[in-house]
Amino acid sequence: MVSRVIPVDVFDLVVFGGTGDLAQRKIIPGLYRRYWGGHIPPESCIIGAARSDLDDAGYRALAREAIIEYVAEDKRDPEIIEAFLARLSYVAIDAKGTGGWDKLKARVRKGTVRAFYFSVAPSLFGDLAERLHLHGIANPESRIVVEKPFGRDLESAKALNAVLAQHFTEAQIYRIDHYLGKETVQNLMAVRFANILFEPLWKSEYVDHVQITVAETVSVDGRGSYYDRAGAMRDMVQNHMMQLLCLIAMEPPYHFDPDAVRDEKLKVIRALDPVSPDDIVRGQYLAGNGQGSYLEHCEDPASKTESYIALKVNISNWRWKGTPFYLRTGKRLRARTSEIAITFREPPHSIFDDAEGWRENVLVIRLQPNEGMNLKVMIKEPGPGGMRLTQVPLDMSFAEALGESGADIPDAYERLIMDVIRGNQTLFMRGDEVEAAWSWTDPIIEGWEERGDKPMPYDAGSSGPEDALMLMHRDGRRWREIRE
């Protein structure tokens, strides 16, 4: 199966923070891959803008290094690289200063899609938005892309929204959550709403519980003091995991349209119950395998910030009342894996005597590694030994099932940037969605801060703190094993 290439319109994309880590690791290599794939018209321009004193040649050299480092060899065609680099230029600009803006204004063309990627600290978003207007660089059709973190609580998220709203309408603002750009995450919507098979069962009557796991093996070493101001709840749950939960739990939108989808997600967030302290387990990894502990990495021996969190979340609406969603995420765990597992209930009555062999149906949606789906179903154990039951996976790896085009799943960032150029906001968070997510998150965090709760230690390379196991055991359930 060959993927259909639908090029976007000619665009001018200004990457503020174009020399930074994100631009070099994700944005520039991602744009190159789309150029290589024929999605980007050759007349398009990418303009790096940052504080460093570089010229166009210097910026192209930086971009060439990024392509060599982060693009797979089979896509590194010297001719295409040169043609792509020729579309790049650079303007030295301080977001808080006055220099460089007129030069930038002269670079952006009339009649092309104009987008500004704010790949800088959120504290600079307001300065950039203001100066883009002051210098007449942004027009009513321009789009801005803003990075996470979008606030650290409701108040700061509201302030950020307000600052952006002074100069841009909601339809111009693209708040990135790169999880939404992952192939499998979008497939979640296709699986639910393009098949008749699952939707009738997609409710508490048939679903026993849902597990969402985002496990990482890496530590926070090198960015510990930054991470310590956030923790797993702010860094992963409030945004990425919340988005996954919404896509699983939302009602079918009337159309695959940005506001229709986001309206449904918002309703889910508003229906989330407050989480009781008994339903939260937080942890900090210990030293192990030659690496330091969380407390060493964050350089604060008294830190109470969590590098792991597990929580049981209930949704109070007709569809989900009685079906808990168990969320867990952490650093320095046994394996790097992200998955959603939907466990169905027992059949109402078994006609088979083999109760022991019976297992629940589970639909597992893997986000990484090996994006794909796996449905566990019961069959008869082969052989003449009577009617015994066994469970087998109906396994679908997207890479295998879709052949060449499946093996070439684009990175989330490149897909999302193409959506910005197309003007499609479906996979971006709306301002009210972000604020609703913080409204749910804030009291949970305030609760443990007021109580002075200390995270439980857990072994590096383990599945997290022991207490997290109990969170499910006491409900007669168990976590799925964390493995690649």
Identity of the residue, 89 or 323, whose beta carbon is nearer to ligand NAD in the bound complex: 89
User: Residues 49, 144: contact at Cβ < 8 Å?
Assistant: no
Name which position in 12, 147, 216, 411 contacts ligand NAD (CB under 6 A). 147
Distance CA 447, CA 469 (A): 22
Taking the complex as a whole, the smallest distance from the CB of residue 14 to ligand NAD amounts, in Å, to 11
What is the closest distance, in whole angstroms, from the C-beta atom of residue 46 to ligand NAD in the complex?
14
Residue listed under structure tokens 């040169």: 82
What gap in Å lies between CA 32 and CA 84, rounded to an integer? Answer: 7
Contact (CB, 8 A) for 293 and 322: no
Q: Map the footprint of ligand NAD across residues 368-427, applying CB under 6 A.
A: none
- In terms of CB distance, is 175 or 265 closer to ligand NAD? 175
Residues 6+ apart with CB under 8 A from 468: 281, 283, 308, 310, 328, 479
d(CA 298, CA 282): 16
Q: Which of residues 41-60 bind ligand NAD (CB under 6 A)?
A: 50-52
Q: What is the three-class DSSP state of 474?
A: coil
Is 382 within 8 Å of 148 (Cβ atoms)? no
Nearest CB to ligand NAD, comparing residues 93 and 373: 93
Asked if residue 103 binds ligand NAD (CB under 6 A), the reply is: no
By CB under 6 A, which span of 21-29, 133-141, 425-433, 438-446 interacts with ligand NAD? 21-29
Smallest gap from residue 142 Cβ to ligand NAD (A)? 18
Which range of residues in 76-84, 89-97, 245-253, 326-334 is near ligand NAD by CB under 6 A?
89-97
Q: Is 17 in the site for ligand NAD (CB under 6 A)?
A: yes
Q: Which residue is nearest to ligand NAD (CB)?
A: 20
Residue 193: enclosing H or E segment and its boundaries? helix 183-193
Residue from 39, 178, 240, 297 carrying the catalytic annotation: 240
Peptide bond preceding 369 in cis form (omega within 30 of 0): yes
Here the tokens at position 213 are 């796991």
Task: Using CB under 6 A, pick the residue from 57, 61, 86, 121 that binds ligand NAD.
Answer: 121
In this chain, which of 124, 189, 287, 378 binds ligand NAD, going by CB under 6 A? 124
Q: State the amino acid at position 124 in one-letter form.
A: L
Helix (H, G, I), strand (E, B) or coil at 229: coil
# residues near ligand NAD by CB under 6 A: 23
Site stretch for ligand NAD (CB under 6 A), options 17-25, 61-69, 208-216, 339-347: 17-25
Residue 480 CA to residue 468 CA, distance in Å, equals 12
Nearest approach, Cβ of residue 143 and ligand NAD (Å): 17
Give the Cα separation of 344 and 197 in Å (integer).
14
Three-state SS letters, 64-93 = HHHHHHHCCHHHCCHHHHHHHHCCEEEEEC
* Smallest distance, ligand NAD to C-beta of residue 118, A: 7
Nearer to ligand NAD, 14 or 249 (CB): 14
Shortest Cβ 144–ligand NAD spacing (Å): 13
- Shortest reach from residue 6's CB to ligand NAD, in Å: 27
d(CA 323, CA 291): 39
Rounded distance, CA 362 to CA 391, Å? Answer: 10
When asked if residue 92 is in the footprint of ligand NAD (CB under 6 A), the reply is no
Cβ-based nearer residue to ligand NAD, 19 or 161: 19
Edge-first strand order for the sheet with 362-368 is 389-397, 372-380, 362-368, 337-344, 207-215, 325-330, 308-313, 280-285, 456-458
Which of residues 55, 83, 96, 405 is near ligand NAD by CB under 6 A?
A: 96
Interface pick for ligand NAD out of 8, 13, 20, 429 (rule CB under 6 A): 20
Per CB under 6 A, which region of 119-127, 261-269, 464-472, 476-484 contacts ligand NAD? 119-127
Among 143, 148, 240, 430, binds ligand NAD (CB under 6 A): 148
Contact between residue 416 and residue 181 where contact means Cβ atoms under 8 Å apart: yes
Among the candidate windows 115-123, 322-330, 332-340, 373-381, which touches ligand NAD by CB under 6 A?
Answer: 115-123
CB 56 within 8 A of CB 47: no
Whether residue 135 lies in the annotated active site: no
Q: Candidates 13-21, 164-172, 237-245, 342-350: pick the segment binding ligand NAD (CB under 6 A).
A: 13-21
Query: Quick one: which segment of 90-98, 197-205, 255-263, 389-397 binds ligand NAD (CB under 6 A)?
Result: 90-98
Report residue 287 as tokens.
Answer: 């030293």
d(CA 285, CA 308): 8
User: Residue 292: exposed, middle, or buried by beta-carbon count in 10 A (0-12, 13-18, 19+)?
Assistant: middle
Among candidate residues 333, 388, 397, the one with its CA nearest the CA of residue 364 = 397
* C-beta atoms surrounding 461 within 10 Å: 15
Q: Does 19 bind ligand NAD (CB under 6 A)?
A: yes
Contact with ligand NAD (CB under 6 A) among 122, 231, 410, 431? 122
Asked if residue 175 binds ligand NAD (CB under 6 A), the reply is no
Residue 217 to residues 92, 310, 337, Cα–Cα distance (Å): 37, 16, 9
CB of 374 to ligand NAD, least distance (A): 29
The contact set with ligand NAD (CB under 6 A) reads: 16-23, 50-52, 93-96, 119-122, 124, 147-149
Active site residues: 240
